[in-house]
Copies of this chain bind each other. A is one copy, B any other.
Amino acid sequence: MKTKLFLLLFFVLTYLGISQTPGYDLWMNYKQIDNEKLNKSYQKATTSLAVLGKSETIQAIKNELQLALPQLLEKQPEIKSVVEERSSLIIATLDALPSNIKKQFSAAVDNLGDEGFIIKSIKIEKNTKLVVTAHTEIGLLYGTFRVLALMQQLEELTNLNLVDSPKIDIRMLNHWDNLDRTVERGYAGFSLWNWQKLPEYIDQRYVDYARANASIGINAVSLTNVNANALILTPMYLEKVKALAKTFRPYGIKVYLTARFSAPIEIGGLETADPLDQKVIDWWQAKADEIYSLIPNFGGFLVKANSEGQPGPQNYDRNHVDGANMMAKALAPHNGNVIWRAFVYSEHDADDRAKQAYSEFVPYDGKFLPNVLVQVKNGAIDFQPREPFHPMFGAMPKTHIMMEFQITKEYLGFSTHLVYLPKLYEEVLEADTYQEGKGSTVAKVLDGSLQGQQITGMAGVANIGNDLNWTGHPFGQADWYGFGRLAWDPYLDSEKIADEWLRMTFSNDEKFIAPIKEMMVTSREAVVNYMNPLGLHHIFDTGHHYGPGPWVSELSRPEWNPVYYHQADENGIGFDRTPSGSNATAQYAQPVAEMFNDPKTCPEEYLLWFHHLPWDYQLKNGETLWNGLAKKYQKGVNQVAKMQETWNQMKPYVSAEQHKEVNMLLTIQYKEAKWWRDACLLYFQTFSKQELPVGVEKPEHDLEYYKSLKFPFAPGIRPRWN
């Protein structure tokens, strides 16, 4: 009978892995602990649980334990609301702990903050107990998820003394979701938010989304596209937002909304949206009051103003400070924030697009109200496979500067390319701005440790949609996971994050972990090689950004055209941003500017970002620029082939369906890597007029073929009302 039941269980679980909905559970799939010794140890640690408190957050903690432990340990947990002698795992705030336990927590608690937690093994008489404690229940929730993660990763739970707290305050997902459920730059289906069925219908998925975020410490979400629609601020929609906010609240997640600057006109019936007009000021104040009466823990507004056609204060001859501070005043009485995006470049400014955000914003340093954060993309152009860090980081010491990463792969192959983004994030976070001398990394700017900012934040543009597996590509889940982990602690190692994610998602088997971790951490360099090597950027096809379009030149604004960015001609290729060119390098601290200015000291991965160089310019390895460029493209293709090879050997470690799924996606990635190589090299060859070097495969088609490809229904394009 035992065998039979085991068999049944095996079939049920196999079935789950096969034809149900693989990937839905993300890194929280709580696979059975098959290490016998650890299983026993975990059993012991969870013999009897005491979870103190009655709030919705405490209920969420209990729910998670009741969901996880039966799967991890084949055991339904016994959960009490009081600490007993036999309690083996105690989860309680410091205030709620019995005094004999509380006294075992020393000064460490002083630095915990509102969201930190302690996981500590203590001895009471002869019994070892594991205690999860924190100042707040949200801290307990985070601690609970950490305990479960430790089990999932087969870490010991004995002799623990783990103290952790987030280094950044606002750890946020930005959903670019439209009210019709299309998602701008979304490649994982459509928006999770089913506005039609809200507020009455609360999809279980909303809860699972909140669980996933809480498990990695994400505590804020902006629900709507930064290319905003004012209707979200009308009573009918606010009732729906309220329902989502209520669902997320137990998980410590605050809701933000994108505020269209012209909303006072569009839904308020005013004739102006001038931020200094008293009626406009009153309208926003009343709107803020209305929102907070519905959603007491509302986060605030995220605003894209005077950028790519969005309205803003400049429409009324006011500036960003006028606009942001007006909204900030409306939110301040409710402790709400304004997150004001710095992604601006003007059709009236002929200067290098890379310079414009800095030029426009840095003079305002110190002028924004305390509840304003300025959200800056990681690089000065737009989420390219590789960009040098944005010069604004460290350049506004009296401003709350917030990071904006992109988790969705607008310029990185949509959801069909396996590209492990935490590697990219890490590169940016570790970059040294030199703004306060050597060691002034972007991470230190962001967490306030360099310049003392009082509110800190990191946002990621979500890669989440209603695909069964949330992110389209199973490995896209690692980007969501990794973003959350780095927002919690921007000093974490991306390789360690990959390790965690692989163990929790797939397997703890080293024969799987080692090669796949290697595949992940090298995947980002692969995409740079086959799309944008040596500092090339923004040579994507127009509008949808799917595939190569280095030849595109006919768009109305010069800086929308790839030819603007690569500047290829018979003399060479690259954008001169040194003093002999746009002088964008002057926006960096002097040691950085000097390094970038000289092609000999400029890191080669940024070479053509900062320099226009002749085709026969000699690279560090002795190759000519043309040959080196061509070989980088080929290398990228080869790297994808290697990824395919690696994955092919992984059949023993994942289900047949998981294996097949990633295989199909790698087939697409390989096809498209070749497409990038062939299209770009054929096009640049019209300028270099040189043969492809040995080792670079001949293109499958001619240039005209690649130029003829059209994708009118590529996903993620901008909604048509913008």
What separation, in Å, do the CA atoms of A201 and B666 have in the docked complex? 10
What separation, in Å, do the CA atoms of A563 and B503 have in the docked complex? 63
Query: A667 contacts which chain B residues (CB < 8 A)?
Result: 200
With both chains docked as a complex, state the minimum distance between the C-beta of A369 and any C-beta of chain B, in angstroms: 33
Query: A7 contacts which chain B residues (CB < 8 A)?
Result: 76
Checking B20, B190, B466 against A20 with a beta-carbon cut-off of 8 angstroms, the contacting residue is B20
Once the chains bind, are B74 and A8 in contact (CB under 8 Å)?
yes
With both chains docked as a complex, state the minimum distance between the C-beta of A709 and any C-beta of chain B, in angstroms: 8
| Surface stretch bound by B, among A204-212, A282-290, A426-434, A574-582 | A204-212
Query: A74 contacts which chain B residues (CB < 8 A)?
Result: 4-5, 8
| Surface stretch bound by B, among A49-57, A294-302, A548-556, A710-718 | A710-718
Bitwise interface map of A from 585 to 611 toward B, beta carbon under 8 Å scored 1, else 0? 000000000000000000000000000
Once the chains bind, are A231 and B67 in contact (CB under 8 Å)?
no
Once the chains bind, are A201 and B5 in contact (CB under 8 Å)?
no
Once the chains bind, are B201 and A416 in contact (CB under 8 Å)?
yes
Q: Is A189 an interface residue (CB 8 A)?
A: yes
What separation, in Å, do the CA atoms of A664 and B194 have in the docked complex? 14
Checking B2, B70, B715 against A11 with a beta-carbon cut-off of 8 angstroms, the contacting residue is B70
What separation, in Å, do the CA atoms of A25 and B18 have in the docked complex? 12
Q: Is A105 an interface residue (CB 8 A)?
A: no
What separation, in Å, do the CA atoms of A249 and B299 have in the docked complex? 51
With both chains docked as a complex, state the minimum distance between the C-beta of A413 and any C-beta of chain B, in angstroms: 11
| Secondary structure class of chain A's binding surface, majority of residues | loop
Q: Which residue of B is nearest A712, CB measured? A: B231
Query: A6 contacts which chain B residues (CB < 8 A)?
Result: 5
Query: A196 contacts which chain B residues (CB < 8 A)?
Result: 187, 414, 416, 713-715
Bitwise interface map of A from 18 to 57 toward B, beta carbon under 8 Å scored 1, else 0? 1111101100000000000000000000000000000000
Q: Is A13 an interface residue (CB 8 A)?
A: yes
Given contacts A713-B179, A713-B195, A715-B196, contact A19 B668 (CB under 8 A): no
With both chains docked as a complex, state the minimum distance between the C-beta of A619 and any C-beta of chain B, in angstroms: 35
Once the chains bind, are A12 and B15 in contact (CB under 8 Å)?
no
What separation, in Å, do the CA atoms of A664 and B202 have in the docked complex? 8
What separation, in Å, do the CA atoms of A529 and B673 have in the docked complex? 59
Checking B9, B21, B231 against A12 with a beta-carbon cut-off of 8 angstroms, the contacting residue is B9
Checking B25, B67, B189, B231 against A190 with a beta-carbon cut-off of 8 angstroms, the contacting residue is B189
Query: A2 contacts which chain B residues (CB < 8 A)?
Result: 1-2, 5
With both chains docked as a complex, state the minimum distance between the C-beta of A672 and any C-beta of chain B, in angstroms: 10
What separation, in Å, do the CA atoms of A13 and B20 have in the docked complex? 13
Query: A187 contacts which chain B residues (CB < 8 A)?
Result: 196
What separation, in Å, do the CA atoms of A25 and B20 have in the docked complex? 7
Q: Is A613 an interface residue (CB 8 A)?
A: no
Query: A424 contacts which chain B residues (CB < 8 A)?
Result: none
Q: Which residue of B is nearest A15, CB measured? A: B67
Q: Is A270 an interface residue (CB 8 A)?
A: no
What separation, in Å, do the CA atoms of A4 and B9 have in the docked complex? 12
Q: Is A645 an interface residue (CB 8 A)?
A: no
CB-CB contacts below 8 Å: A661-699 with B:
661, 664-665, 667-668, 671
Given contacts A9-B5, A67-B15, contact A713 B180 (CB under 8 A): yes
6 CB < 8 A contacts A-B: A4-B74, A5-B9, A8-B75, A179-B712, A181-B190, A201-B664
